[in-house]
Amino acid sequence: MLTVGFQEKLNVCRSIPLTGGKYFSKNACMKSVKNWDVVVVGAGPGGATASYHLARFGYDVLLLDRKTFPRHKPCGGALSWKVSRFLPFDEKALEYDEIYGAEFTYQGKEPFRIEVESPLSRLVERRDFDQKLVDMAVGEGAAFHDGETVTGFEERDVGIEVTTQAGEIYAAKYVIGADGPRGISARFLNPSHVEPMGVALEEEMVLGGVDIPKLVRLDFGRFPYGYGWVFPKRGLSSVGCGAIYRREKVSLRKAYQEFKADFPFIPRSSRGMKGHLLPYFGDFPYTRARGHMLLVGDAARLMDPFLGEGIYYALASGTFAAEAVRAAFERGGGAEEHYLPRLQKEIVEELRNAARMADFVYPRLYLGFKVLKRSSRLGLLYIRVMSGEVSYRDFNNNLFRTMKDAGKKKLMGFFTKGG
C-alpha cells in the first residue's frame, strides 16, 4: 500500500533543475528515496504501539530509533491498570512485580501507609517492556531500524521527507513523532515553544537478596512539583526523584542525596544514575498534529502533571494516532482532524484535571499530605487514582465535597472549574 505521490514526483525531479522548490530537497535528487506509508520516529511505548497497529492495518511502516535495542530507559516502570486497555499483548506475557500499597512520607518523616488487597499496580523493566512492544510491531510486519537517528524533516505537498544520520532519506505520507519532549519531531511542530520542562533522576539499585516490602514509597516536600520514589522490583529497586514542573531552581542532586539518606533500607549498589527531561502538560498552546505529522506520548506532552505517569498516555495516543492515520487513508481529510478531537476527549480533559490538582496541591504540599493522612476515604480514593481506577475528575469532585463539608469555601472554586 505504498504512497504513489512521491515516486511520481521523484521521476519528475530527475529531469528538472532544483531550486529547493516545493516537492524535493537537493538531497532527494542525489539520494535514492525510499517510500513508506508511515515513518514512526522513536520506538518507546508510543511509537511501537502506533507501528503495531499501522502494520496490522496493512500499511508499510518504518519504525526508527536512535538507540540500539533493547535499550535502558530511565523510568519507574509503574503500570496502572488502565494500561490494559491499550496493551497490544496479553499481560501474562509480561514479567512484572505487583505492588500492594504505598507508604507516604514528608521529607522522610511522618510515614503512613495505605495498603490494598488487590494489586495497586505492576512494575516492569522498561528494557524488556519496550522490546516486547517493538517485537509486536515487527511481528505484524513493521520494519524496525534501531541505531538510526532522525536528523531532519522536509514537508512536501504529499507527505514528509525524513532524513537520518545514516544518510538515508525516507518519503512518508505520514510521520508519527514519538521521540520524546525535546525530540526533533516536537521541535519541528513547535519551533518556538519555550515552556519549561520537568526533570527526573533515576537509578537502579541491585537488591542483592535484600527483601523490601511490596509497597511504593513516595516522599514529598523536597522536590518542587514532584516527589522521590522507591519502587521495589525483582532483584532491583528503582529509586529516583522528579520535579515534574521546574518552577523553582533547586539542586535536584543534592535533594536526592538527602532523600536517599533518609531511607537506610535502600541498597547502595547502583547501576548508575541517569537524568531525564519530563514533558510538562500545561495550559499553553502546543501543536500535537499538523499536516502530515502527529505527535504521541511525551513528544505530545501527554504526561500526568501530578504523578508523572506517561506510559499509559503513550500507549493510548499511539493507538489513536494509528487509527487517525487509517481514517485519513480510508476516508480522506487530514489525520489531525481524526486525531485531535479524540485526544482532547479521552486524554487532554483528564490531564487538565490532573493539572488542576497539581496546581492546587503542590504549592500546599504539607496541607495535602496531612489531608491524605487524616482522611482514610480520600487516601483510598487517591490510591485508586494511582492504580488508574478513579479519574482525577472524580477525585477532585470528592476533594471538593470534603472541603465543602469542612467549610473551606474559598478553596471550592478551584476544583469546580472544568472539573
**396 exposure class (CB count in 10 Å sphere: 0-12, 13-18, 19+):** buried
CA distances from 138 to 41, 50, 125, 144 (A): 15, 12, 20, 7
Question: Residue count at the site for ligand FAD (CB under 6 A)?
Answer: 39
Instruction: Give the ranges where 145-201 is alpha helix by DSSP (H).
Output: 184-189
Q: Does 298 bind ligand FAD (CB under 6 A)?
A: yes
Binds ligand FAD (CB under 6 A): choice among 33, 36, 40, 46: 46
- Candidate list 60, 161, 202, 336; residue touching ligand FAD; CB under 6 A: 202
CA 209 – CA 212 distance, rounded (Å): 9
Shortest distance in whole angstroms from residue 304 CB to ligand FAD: 8
Taking the C-alpha atoms of residue 224 and residue 217, their distance in angstroms, rounded to an integer, is 17
The phi and psi torsions of 230 (rounded to 5 degrees) equal -130, 115
Tell me how far, at minimum, the Cβ of 49 lies from ligand FAD, in Å.
8
* Euclidean distance between CA atoms 268 and 358, whole angstroms: 32
Residue 177 contacts ligand FAD per CB under 6 A: no
Q: Are 228 and 256 in contact (CB under 8 A)?
A: yes
Q: Of the candidates 177, 310, 368, 379, which one interacts with ligand FAD according to CB under 6 A?
A: 310
Q: What is the DSSP letter of 183?
A: S
> Which of these segments, 154-162, 301-309, 319-327, 361-369, binds ligand FAD (CB under 6 A)?
301-309
Residue 70 preceded by cis peptide, ω within 30: yes
Q: Distance between CA atoms of 6 and 245, rounded to whole angstroms?
A: 42
Q: Is 42 in the site for ligand FAD (CB under 6 A)?
A: yes
Exactly one of 311, 343, 347, 361 binds ligand FAD (CB under 6 A); which one? 311
CB of 172 to ligand FAD, least distance (A): 14
Helix (H) or strand (E) holding 39: strand 33-41
- Per rule CB under 6 A, is residue 76 in the interface with ligand FAD? yes
Give 372's contacts (C-beta < 8 A, 6+ positions apart): 104, 378, 379, 382
Per rule CB under 6 A, is residue 388 in the interface with ligand FAD?
A: no
Min. distance of Cβ 74 from ligand FAD in angstroms?
A: 4
Q: Give the binding range for ligand FAD (CB under 6 A) out of 37-45, 167-175, 346-354, 366-374.
A: 37-45
- Please report how close the Cβ of residue 41 comes to ligand FAD at its closest, in angstroms: 5
Phi/psi of residue 262, each to 5°?
-80, -10
**233 touches ligand FAD (CB under 6 A):** no
Shortest Cβ 24–ligand FAD spacing (Å): 22
Per CB under 6 A, the list member of 243, 278, 322, 358 interacting with ligand FAD is 278
CB of 50 to ligand FAD, least distance (A): 9
Binding window for ligand FAD (CB under 6 A); candidates: 109-117, 166-174, 310-318, 381-389: 310-318
Q: Is the CB of 67 or the CB of 290 nearer to ligand FAD? A: 67
Closest approach, Cβ 35 to ligand FAD, in A, equals 19
Which helix (H) or strand (E) segment holds residue 62: the answer is strand 61-65
Q: Is 184 in the site for ligand FAD (CB under 6 A)?
A: yes
- Answer whether 10's CB lies under 8 Å from 28's CB: yes
Report the candidate in 334, 343, 403 with the shortest Cα–Cα distance to residue 375: 403
Range in contact with ligand FAD (rule: CB under 6 A) among 44-52, 259-267, 324-332, 374-382:
44-52
C-alpha–C-alpha distance, residues 25 and 10, integer Å: 11
Helix (H) / strand (E) containing 110: strand 109-115
**Contact present, 302 and 318 (Cβ < 8 Å):** no
Please, which residue, 166 or 406, has the CB nearer to ligand FAD? Answer: 166
Point out which residues bind ligand FAD (CB under 6 A): 41-47, 64-67, 73-78, 149-150, 178-180, 183-184, 200, 202, 240, 276, 278, 297-299, 303, 308-312, 314
